[in-house]
Amino acid sequence: MVKVFWQHPAMTDGHLQTFCAPPPYQLYWINSSIEERGPISPSTILSRVNWNEERRGPEQTTIVMASIMQNANRLRKALHSHSGVSFGAWQMLPGSNLSRTIARTGYDWVCVDCEHGNIADDQMHESVAAIASCGVSPIVRIAANEGWMVKRALDSGAHGIVVPLLYTAEDARKLVQSAKFPPLGQRGYGSPFSMGAFGGPSGLDYLQHANETLVTIVQIETREAFENVSTGADGREGC
């Protein structure tokens, strides 16, 4: 069991509140009167936050859930912390047991390669769930900038996607439309699987916080794309 401590910056009333990524990580919740050892589900965390909602305000619940999801995405956490170091692995062969074996070797993320790897759609779903169950971020490289491929990867619970062969700003805008829920994009909602990769937030919580939690990465692979990269697209996470 790996213990992960994380102090939420919004908690400024003198109590130390700590949260972490999904199991197998261990969560510590500590304040002046209780000390509990995990794993503790996000619903338990929220019940603890809500015990004094009049003092904290209902907006604290939203802040905490957003931070839980963002903290679970280890690739996003590394990118936004500017730590400069994030270790990941590449999976090109199918199998959830293989996914778990790779994830348990100490990586921050594992990329399930559906572009050049021999991994079909159903196998991708199984690998994403297996990687997330180890507290590691599942990333999916899709085969092309197609909306249905983006949807399938994110609906499986992927913490991010890698999209090959973008050429123009219009390609990037098309990708944002597929990858983001309204108002940033037009991603449809309906998957019962995506929440499980973040420790089990509600469907509403996932819908509200996915846009700022998921990572969208584009590959710049041609001269045309390189010349157009400065034009970009609103909502792009990184490239």
Tell me: the pLDDT tens digits for 176-206?
Answer: 999 999 999 999 999 999 999 998 889 999 9
Active site residue 82: no
Task: Summarize the confidence of residues 112-140 as an average pLDDT.
Answer: 97
Q: Is residue 35 part of a domain?
A: yes
Specify whether 33 is located in the same domain as 96.
no
Specify whether 21 is located in the same domain as 134.
no
Side-chain-side CA neighbours of 131 within 13 Å: the count stands at 37
3, β-bridge pairs: 26
d(CA 27, CA 41): 9
CATH code, domain carrying 98: 3.20.20.60
Side-chain-side CA neighbours of 82 within 13 Å: the count stands at 0
DSSP secondary structure string, 141-193?
E-SSS-HHHHHHHHHTT-SEEEE----SHHHHHHHHHHHS-TTT-------SS
Specify whether 10 is located in the same domain as 27.
yes
Specify whether 115 is located in the same domain as 16.
no
Q: Is residue 236 part of a domain?
A: no
pLDDT at 29: 36
d(CA 114, CA 121): 8
Specify whether 186 is located in the same domain as 109.
yes
Specify whether 127 is located in the same domain as 182.
yes
Q: Is residue 234 part of a domain?
A: no
Predicted TM-score (pTM) of the model is 0.73
Specify whether 177 is located in the same domain as 100.
yes
Please choose, from the candidates 174, 201, 204, the residue with its C-alpha nearest in 3D space to the C-alpha of residue 189. 204
- Which residue, of 49, 72, 95, is where some domain finishes? 72
Specify whether 35 is located in the same domain as 90.
no
Specify whether 46 is located in the same domain as 111.
no
Q: Is residue 238 part of a domain?
A: no
Q: Is residue 112 part of a domain?
A: yes
Catalytic, out of 8, 80, 82, 116: 116
DSSP secondary structure string, 207-232?
HHHHHHHSEEEE---SHHHHHHTTT-
Q: Is residue 120 part of a domain?
A: yes
For residue 163, give the 3-state DSSP assignment: strand
Domain extent, residue 16, equals 2-72
- Which residue, of 51, 72, 93, is where some domain finishes? 72
pLDDT at 170: 94
pLDDT-based confidence at residue 230 (cuts at 50, 70, 90):
confident
When comparing pLDDT for 75 and 25, which is higher? 75
d(CA 200, CA 76): 18
pLDDT at 118: 98
Give the DSSP H or E segment for 128.
helix 121-133
Specify whether 158 is located in the same domain as 190.
yes
Domain count, the chain: 2
Ramachandran category for residue 27: left, alpha or beta (phi over 0 → left; psi -120 to 50 → alpha): beta
- Which residue, of 46, 72, 98, is where some domain finishes? 72
Specify whether 101 is located in the same domain as 129.
yes
Specify whether 63 is located in the same domain as 117.
no
The share of the chain scoring above pLDDT 90, in percent, equals 59
